[in-house]
Amino acid sequence: MQRTYELMFIVRPDMTDEDLEKLTSTLSTQVTNAKGTVKTVEKMGKRRLAYTVGTFNEGIYVLFVIEGPGELVYELERRLRVAEPVIKFITVRVDVEQKRLDKIKKIRDSRRRGAGTHAAAAAEAAAAQAESAAAETPAQA
C-alpha cells in the first residue's frame, strides 16, 4: 500500500550544512531501501520556534515528502528518534486530503464547463471558455 506522507523534522540550529546533508541522504537511502520514493526534500531554513524545545529556541526545519508503505514511517521515525541532532519531528499523511481536493477541483471544473455549454446566448463567452478548457485538457489527455 503506497501512501504519501510529509515528514517534517527540526534539527538543532548549530548543525553544519554537511552534517545536515549527511542526515538527509541517509534518510533518503533508507526510504529507497524500503521500496519507497522520495518526492521532495526541502530545507526550510532556520526559524525561531514557537516555544522552547529542550534547550533550543530556534531550529532548522526540513521537510520530506515521501511515498511508501506505513512500515516505512515506523522505521524513519525510529531513526529520527535515535538521531541526536533531531529535536522534533512529525509525520502527516497527505494523500487522503489530496484526494479530497482533487475531487473538489474536478467538480468545480465540470461545473464551469457545463455552464459554458448551457449559455447559448453568450456564444463568445462559451468559445472563450472552450479555448481555456482546451488549453487545460492536453495535460489530462
Partner 1 sequence: MADETTQQTPSAPAGGEQRQGGRPGGRPGGPGREQRKYFRRKKVCKFCVEKIDAIDYKDYRLLSQFIAESGKIVPRRLSGVCTPHQRRLGRAIKVARNIALLPFAGSSR
Burial class (CB in 10 A: 0-12, 13-18, 19+), 68: buried
Minimum CB–partner distance for residue 95 and partner 1 (Å): 13
Task: Considering only residues 23 through 42, tell me which ones interact with partner 1, judged by CB under 8 A.
Answer: none
CA distance 43 to 24: 10
- For the chain, the first-to-last Cα distance in angstroms comes to 27
CA distance 20 to 6: 18
The footprint of partner 1 on this chain (CB under 8 A) covers a number of residues equal to: 17
CA distance 123 to 107: 23
From the list 48, 47, 54, the residue with the least C-alpha distance to 84 is: 54
Minimum CB–partner distance for residue 111 and partner 1 (Å): 13
Minimum CB–partner distance for residue 6 and partner 1 (Å): 8
Q: What are the grid coordinates assigned to 13, written together?
A: 540550529
Indicate whether 51 belongs to the interface with partner 1 (CB under 8 A).
yes
Indicate whether 43 belongs to the interface with partner 1 (CB under 8 A).
no
The number of CA neighbours under 13 Å toward the Cβ of 46 is 9
Q: Quick one: 35 or 46, whose CB is closer to partner 1?
A: 46
Indicate whether 101 belongs to the interface with partner 1 (CB under 8 A).
yes
Residue among 14, 33, 78, 92 that touches partner 1 (CB under 8 A) = 92
Q: Quick one: 58 or 67, whose CB is closer to partner 1?
A: 58
Residues that bind partner 1 (CB under 8 A): 8, 10, 47, 49-51, 53, 59, 63, 88-90, 92, 97, 101, 104-105
